């Protein structure tokens, strides 16, 4: 079987789960890895048996041996790396957010359209078992007509948000704070179950972060969806005691569905009807599993020439929602998306 030959762009924190998953996938051959920090790239290359190590990622883009690139770079580099990769004839896999500016999104969509290529984005929440089950139960109308969702994200990025040298949360390089970094996932999840949001009002604040170069460390977003569904998202990067967690609650006319955090790497899906718990299912090791699920699905879709599960139009509306949320926070009013 011919394997997809992949080059990795960026050997930072998220690269470990990508490298582990791709190295275990029998349809993939990891050929090269690039990072400005050559020591880091070399360390990962050794660990995963990757032969070519580059500090300049354009060497990977111009390498005829490479079929696809996996872009794991800071946010502001996603646009250029994706456009250049498409122009070099490579298939693009890219971490979220796919770009940080609407003008870049439009330009990337135009390039992808002209070259007739797809970009495979890593919007991973859709690939968690509890999320898929929640979506299935919603479709089966098990809670009747949904009218409200409440989503909650926390992490502890206080050190990075207060570090001038870190690109994370930096408006120029990250495109914003916790909403751009993590809110992008929950907006995608809500788009998946309710369609595209129509309007937004929001409050975005710096609470623990005082650096002017950084974005918000607390974002509270209110979204209006079709069919009279409202959603609230609260994201903060200031949870110094608990750290990373996602929670989601969907309320309907005949019950409610909840995905709750149950300690490290464990989620639980609950269905309440008539005051009773009707379904309780736990999902262990969910973060690793969900990342593996989406990366393996992307590889299978590339091999079978199938379209990505998140198309660029959907990602564009997701990004627009974030940009409009920032505008709403500044203007102090509700804004159409």
Ligand X SMILES: NC(=O)c1ccc[n+]([C@@H]2O[C@H](COP(=O)([O-])OP(=O)(O)OC[C@H]3O[C@@H](n4cnc5c(N)ncnc54)[C@H](O)[C@@H]3O)[C@@H](O)[C@H]2O)c1
The dihedral through the CA atoms of 326, 327, 330, 335 has a sign that is negative
Which CB, 15 or 128, lies closer to ligand X?
Answer: 15
**Of how many residues is the chain composed?**
337
The dihedral through the CA atoms of 199, 205, 211, 217 has a sign that is negative
Strand partners, 246: 153
Strand partners, 257: 250, 271
CB of 171 to ligand X, least distance (A): 15
Q: Please identify the residue of the shown chain whose CB is closest to the bound ligand X.
A: 12
CB 281 within 8 A of CB 269: yes
Neighbouring C-alpha atoms within 13 Å toward the C-beta of 73: 29
CB of 89 to ligand X, least distance (A): 20
Query: Cα–Cα distance between 302 and 297 in angstroms, integer?
Result: 9
Which CB, 163 or 206, lies closer to ligand X?
Answer: 163
Which CB, 137 or 310, lies closer to ligand X?
Answer: 310
CB of 145 to ligand X, least distance (A): 32
Q: Work out the angle at residue 123's Cα, subtended by the Cα atoms of residues 150 and 246, and round it to the nearest 5 degrees.
A: 35
Cis peptide before 97 (omega within 30 of 0): yes
Which CB, 147 or 244, lies closer to ligand X?
Answer: 244
Cα first-last separation, the chain: 46
Query: Cα–Cα distance between 263 and 15 in angstroms, integer?
Result: 24
Written as six digits, the tokens of 23 are 């190295």
Written as six digits, the tokens of 88 are 């070099």
CB of 231 to ligand X, least distance (A): 21
Query: Cα–Cα distance between 59 and 57 in angstroms, integer?
Result: 5
Query: Cα–Cα distance between 312 and 106 in angstroms, integer?
Result: 9
Neighbouring C-alpha atoms within 13 Å toward the C-beta of 207: 16
CB of 109 to ligand X, least distance (A): 19
CB of 243 to ligand X, least distance (A): 13
CB of 9 to ligand X, least distance (A): 6
User: Which residues of the chain form contacts with ligand X (CB under 6 A)?
Assistant: 10-15, 34-37, 40, 57, 72-75, 77, 95-96, 122, 124, 181
Which CB, 15 or 237, lies closer to ligand X?
Answer: 15
Which CB, 78 or 324, lies closer to ligand X?
Answer: 78
Which CB, 13 or 307, lies closer to ligand X?
Answer: 13
Which CB, 126 or 324, lies closer to ligand X?
Answer: 126
CB of 179 to ligand X, least distance (A): 12
């Amino acid at each position: 079987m011919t394997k997809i030959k992949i080059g990795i762009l960026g050997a930072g924190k998220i690269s470990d789960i990508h490298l582990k998953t791709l190295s275990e996938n029998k349809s993939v051959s990891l050929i090269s890895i690039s990072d400005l920090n050559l020591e880091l790239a070399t360390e990962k290359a050794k660990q995963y048996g990757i032969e070519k190590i580059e500090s300049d990622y354009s060497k990977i883009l111009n390498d005829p041996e490479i079929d696809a690139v996996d872009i794991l770079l800071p946010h502001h580099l996603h646009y250029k790396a994706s456009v250049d990769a498409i122009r070099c004839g490579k298939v693009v896999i890219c971490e979220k957010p796919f770009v940080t500016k609407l003008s870049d999104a439009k330009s990337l969509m135009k390039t992808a359209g002209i070259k007739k290529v797809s970009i495979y984005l890593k919007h991973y929440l859709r690939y968690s078992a509890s999320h898929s089950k929640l979506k299935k139960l919603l479709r089966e109308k098990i809670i009747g007509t949904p009218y409200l969702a409440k989503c909650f994200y926390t992490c502890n990025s206080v050190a990075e948000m207060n570090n001038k040298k870190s690109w994370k949360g930096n408006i120029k390089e990250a495109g914003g704070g916790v909403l751009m970094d993590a809110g992008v996932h929950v907006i995608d999840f809500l788009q998946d179950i309710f369609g595209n949001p129509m309007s937004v009002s929001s409050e975005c604040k710096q609470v623990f972060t005082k650096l002017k170069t950084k974005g918000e460390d607390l974002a509270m977003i209110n979204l209006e969806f079709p069919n009279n569904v409202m959603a609230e998202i609260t994201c903060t990067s200031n949870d110094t005691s608990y750290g990373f967690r996602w929670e989601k609650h969907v309320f309907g006319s005949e019950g409610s569905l909840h995905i709750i955090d149950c300690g490290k790497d464990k989620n639980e899906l609950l269905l309440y009807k008539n005051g009773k718990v009707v379904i309780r299912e736990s999902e262990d090791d969910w973060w690793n599993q969900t990342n593996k699920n989406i990366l393996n699905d992307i590889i299978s879709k590339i091999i079978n020439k199938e379209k990505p599960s998140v198309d660029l139009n959907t990602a564009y509306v997701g990004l627009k929602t974030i940009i409009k949320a920032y505008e709403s926070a500044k203007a102090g009013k509700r804004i159409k998306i």
